[in-house]
Chain A
């Protein structure tokens, strides 16, 4: 089963665009990343620039509306994520619990949809999507 571990650093919602990272913390995180890889469960991982460099698009009735970051009403924003392949939610929780995260950080664990989760009718409508993803991933 694939799970996303969503890193939510409280306070990142107001971080400036040129946020500075602490080399000590990076070293600790890289060690943790390495342990995920050594266990053969790491699929991919990424870090995200602060929301002050991002944008939102909302689709109310009619035209899409674009808002530039930072987003004042946000209380929690993503700082990055890991995608892992484990046997159960419990195993995902156990791995997240080992992360050298700080007191201001939360890791949210969410299962990723597989095509086989969808009813037959939906699978047919989405036929070719997995193939598309495969093509996309090879780029």
Chain B
């Protein structure tokens, strides 16, 4: 099963404050453990929302608003993609992440082709597989 681990934004991440060398070293070690265990697929950090934008679809032309967006518990600062046998295994891994001081992460299962059931017709499935294969080649 694949999981997306969403790292929530904080005052620091939104202010563009870079993590300390100490934290980066601990994070590097944690990432290395996950890679060695064969569970880590990707991990990325995002620039603060001040450099971002939001697009809404009110019917008719889409509307755009620029960041920053208010710091809520729903704002994202980064993520990992990991592959484990269960949600519990994903939770066990993430409990070991070197966070403190009220940081929060959210663990969400990623859809696989099987989850879509009949909505994913054979034709759509073939299209989806082709798309992934070609995107991965980049």
Are B21 and A74 closer than 8 Å at their CB atoms? no
Chain B residues numbered 6-46 whose CB sits less than 8 Å from any CB in chain A: 6, 18-19, 21, 24-25, 28, 31-32, 35, 38, 40-46
A contact residues, total (Cβ < 8 Å): 75
Are B131 and A78 closer than 8 Å at their CB atoms? no
Are B45 and A112 closer than 8 Å at their CB atoms? yes
Are A112 and B44 closer than 8 Å at their CB atoms? yes
A59 in contact with B119 given A27-B124, A106-B54, A136-B41 (CB within 8 Å): no
The residue from B52, B107, B121 contacting A55, defined by CB atoms under 8 A apart: B107
Are A6 and B76 closer than 8 Å at their CB atoms? yes
Interface flag for B71 (CB, 8 Å): no
The chain A residue sitting closest to B2, CB to CB, is: A46
Are B131 and A42 closer than 8 Å at their CB atoms? yes
Of A53, A54, A111, chain B has the most CB atoms within 10 Å of the CB of A54
In the complex, A101→B44 CA distance in Å?
Answer: 25
Q: Is the interface of B mostly helix, strand, loop or mixed?
A: mixed
Mask: chain A, 22-49; 1 = CB below 8 Å from B; 0 = not = 1100110010011001001011111111
17 contacts between A and B (CB under 8 A): A23-B118, A26-B119, A26-B120, A30-B127, A40-B138, A56-B105, A58-B103, A66-B95, A75-B74, A76-B74, A97-B62, A99-B55, A107-B54, A109-B52, A132-B28, A132-B40, A139-B41
List A residues at the B interface (Cβ < 8 Å): 4, 6, 20-23, 26-27, 30, 33-34, 37, 40, 42-49, 51, 53-61, 64, 66, 71, 73-78, 80, 85, 89, 92-93, 96-97, 99, 101-103, 105-113, 117-119, 121-122, 125-126, 128-129, 132-133, 135-137, 139
